[in-house]
């Protein structure tokens, strides 16, 4: 029904008019430098449209590709996408294999995507890569190496990612340094931990805004440390149906809030 309604609105020019109005509104306020997005609702969107789960994931991947343009147009410099959690790996083997195939396919596209080179996008994967197929690790490594020198935009792709696992890895690394005598317990600070997190390479490792689609209102282990003071926006739209106006609405909501950062 949403797709039919969108078609009618676009044919009348109402959609573009509303998008233009939202663009004008957010131009007056601060733009989040770093946005994190929990891509949720692919399976439920497919079910509602009487489609296979695979098609739901494919449609969701198509939206991700359009998202790159939207963020560039708005002026968002860094994006972290929660694509595949460690818990997702416990789904049926058929679905996980299809997800691996789809992610690999889209990573390969990044290698030849002219926008990556035009916008100077540094792409990096974050997560427990040892849980991923070797073929995916190789593609991620190739994309990272090809874009390592870019600093126009930053795209972090969280695959086989879990916030608790990230913090555990960080604590383990620090414990090893203490054990070797290269660090003392008194040297451990919040900054010590932040410098060792997966997102430490970003100019702004802590997202200003985290958006979750599908209507669910929880973090599901996404950037638990980094998102401590992020503004959270939960949208009642499945990821495959996500549009630019949904992103604009989220940014407008961000701008209307008074950020205290615990003060």
Query: What would the pLDDT profile of 236-257 be if each residue is shown by its tens digit?
Result: 999 999 999 999 999 999 999 9
Number of domains in the chain: 1
Give the strand order in the sheet containing 78-85: 121-126, 153-161, 78-85, 34-38, 209-212, 231-234
In a domain, 19, yes or no: no
Q: Looking at residue 123, what DSSP letter applies?
A: E
pLDDT digits (tens, 9 = 90+) for 147-182: 999 999 999 999 999 999 999 999 999 999 999 999
Beta bridge partners of 153: 121
d(CA 211, CA 260): 19
How far is residue 249 from each of residues 17, 20, 200, measured CA to CA in Å? 14, 12, 28
| Orientation of helix 93-112 relative to helix 53-74, angle to 10° | 30
pLDDT digits (tens, 9 = 90+) for 201-240: 999 999 999 999 999 999 999 999 999 999 999 999 999 9
Query: For residue 175, what are the domain limits?
Result: 31-256
pLDDT digits (tens, 9 = 90+) for 75-122: 999 999 999 999 999 999 999 999 999 999 999 999 999 999 999 999
**Which residue has tokens 């010590």?**
192
In a domain, 24, yes or no: no
Which three-class secondary structure state does DSSP give residue 133? coil
Which three-class secondary structure state does DSSP give residue 225? coil
Strand ranges, E, within 162-247 = 209-212, 231-234
In a domain, 16, yes or no: no
Apex CA 230: angle with CA 38 and CA 126, to 5°? Answer: 50
Is residue 40 annotated as a catalytic residue, yes or no?
Answer: yes
Q: Please provide residue 49's backbone torsions phi and psi, each rounded to the nearest 5 degrees.
A: -100, 10
In a domain, 104, yes or no: yes
In a domain, 26, yes or no: no
Q: Does residue 30 contact residue 209 with C-beta atoms inside 8 Å?
A: no
Residues with Cβ within 8 Å of 12's Cβ and at least 6 positions away in sequence, in order, are: none
In a domain, 127, yes or no: yes
In a domain, 4, yes or no: no
d(CA 126, CA 142): 14
**Which residue has tokens 């100077």?**
120
CB atoms within 10 A of CB 209: 23
Q: Which listed residue (23, 48, 88, 204) is catalytic?
A: 88
In a domain, 76, yes or no: yes
Beta bridge partners of 161: 85
Assign residue 251 the CATH number of its domain.
3.40.1180.10
pTM (predicted TM-score)? 0.92
């Amino acid at each position: 029904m949403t797709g039919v309604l969108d078609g009618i609105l676009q044919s009348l020019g109402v959609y573009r008019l509303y998008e233009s109005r939202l663009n004008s509104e957010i131009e007056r306020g601060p733009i989040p430098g770093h946005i994190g997005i929990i891509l949720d609702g692919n399976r439920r969107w497919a079910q509602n449209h009487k489609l296979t789960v695979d098609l739901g994931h494919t449609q969701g991947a198509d939206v991700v590709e359009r998202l790159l343009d939207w963020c560039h147009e708005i002026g968002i410099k860094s994006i972290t996408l929660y694509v595949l959690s460690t818990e997702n790996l416990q789904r049926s083997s058929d679905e996980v294999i299809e997800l691996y195939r789809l992610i690999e396919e889209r990573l390969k596209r990044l290698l030849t995507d002219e926008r990556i080179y035009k916008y100077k996008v540094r792409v990096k994967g974050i997560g427990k890569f040892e849980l991923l197929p070797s073929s995916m690790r190789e593609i991620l490594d190739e994309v990272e190496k090809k874009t390592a020198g870019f600093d126009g935009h930053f795209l972090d792709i969280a695959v086989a990612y879990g916030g608790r696992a990230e913090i555990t890895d960080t604590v383990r690394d620090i414990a090893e340094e203490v054990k070797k005598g290269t660090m003392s317990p008194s040297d451990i600070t919040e900054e010590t931990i932040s410098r060792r997190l997966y997102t430490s390479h970003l100019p702004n490792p802590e997202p200003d805004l985290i958006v979750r689609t599908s209507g669910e209102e929880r973090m599901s282990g996404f950037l638990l440390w980094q998102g401590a003071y992020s503004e959270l926006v939960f949208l009642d739209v499945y990821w495959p149906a996500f549009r630019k106006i949904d992103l604009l609405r989220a940014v407008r909501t961000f701008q209307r809030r008074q950020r205290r950062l615990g003060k």
